[in-house]
Amino acid sequence: MSIEASAPAKVILVGEHAVVYGQPAIALPVSSHRVTARVIPNAPGECGLRLIAGEIDRVLPATVEAEAVTDALDLTLRLTLARVGRLAPDVTIKIESQIPIASGLGSGAAVSTALARALSMALGCPLNNHDLNEIVYEVEKIHHGTPSGIDNTVIVYEQPVYFKRGHPIETFTIGAPFTLLIADTGQSALTRIAVADVRHLYESETDRIQPVIETIGLLVDETRQAVERGDLTTLGQLMTRNHGYLRGLTVSSPQLDTFVKAALDAGALGAKLSGGGRGGNMIALVTPETHSAVKAALLAAGARRVLGTVVAEGQ
């Protein structure tokens, strides 16, 4: 008998990086792309909690305390065991992911979420979303350094979120469904490094950067209103403006800028990098009329792959 749990990818619609400084941001789950964790009993005579994920095949070290763990997978397991008050069971957990690593799509948070969910279910103590979110947030510190908490929140709750650090999670209505194309630069980029670089910029030039961060916050509120009233033209304009501010924070890249231009030239209503930046993915807002042309333009501009995701009420 096996037990399975999963978690989705995510995109940040607007507000990444500024969200680390207390501004709001909007994130959306991408439910079509998931990480799955499957728990199966160990073969007879095989002891310990064995983890298989891509290249990794190892048994959880028995002696390490959670505080001393620096590996994201081990920390997820330790924190989950501590939260449910159990010792590591003799099982094998296999992780399979459809989410590219270090691409701004939340693969780290999705892996932790699926893993903690599956393990707690296998132990007969399924974690609620609140507790799960706290665990994944702790693990995100390994990936992001000083995470805002937006990635773990959208991935654990799997619903659109208007997120502001330290505030209760808010969701919102989607006035009209819309489609985003997600184009992969194929360049992996660590969010932790982009976040640390923005921190450095912020600390060395606070007078110049603080207004940019605050402007992004205002733009996020305007975006929420545009989404709620189904005004896709304004939504697109706000996304493109947000990309400009992210360039100012030094987190774009030549490839991301090329993709944004290619998408806009092909008729997208708006386009921007999504997530940590410096590589990873770009998102473009398309209509049924422009979908194919924008996708073709992104592939011609060098996108490794272009996914589509529909954002609609009740998803």
Q: Which residues are catalytic?
A: 151
Tokens 């501010």 belong to which residue?
245
Residues 6+ apart with CB under 8 A from 134: none
**How near is the Cβ of 42 to ligand MEV at its closest, in Å?**
35
**How near is the Cβ of 125 to ligand MEV at its closest, in Å?**
28
Positions 131 through 160 that interact with ligand MEV (CB under 6 A): 144, 147-148, 150-151
Sign of CA dihedral 84, 5, 130, 217: positive
Q: Could you say whether residue 107 binds ligand MEV (CB under 6 A)?
A: no
Site string for ligand MEV, 190-209 (x = CB under 6 A): -x---x--------------
CB 272, CB 306: distance < 8 Å? no
The site that binds ligand MEV (CB under 6 A) totals a number of residues, namely 14
- Near ligand MEV by CB under 6 A, which window of 9-17, 35-43, 65-73, 210-218? 9-17
- 8-state DSSP, 34: E
Site string for ligand MEV, 252-291 (x = CB under 6 A): -----------------------xx---------------
CB 182, CB 105: distance < 8 Å? yes
Long-range pairs of 67-72 with CB within 8 A, sequence gap ≥ 24: 70/142, 71/142, 72/108, 72/111, 72/112, 72/139, 72/142, 72/143
Q: How many CA atoms lie within 13 A of 140 on its CB side?
A: 25
**How near is the Cβ of 176 to ligand MEV at its closest, in Å?**
25
By CB under 6 A, name the binding residues for ligand MEV: 12, 16-17, 19-20, 144, 147-148, 150-151, 191, 195, 275-276
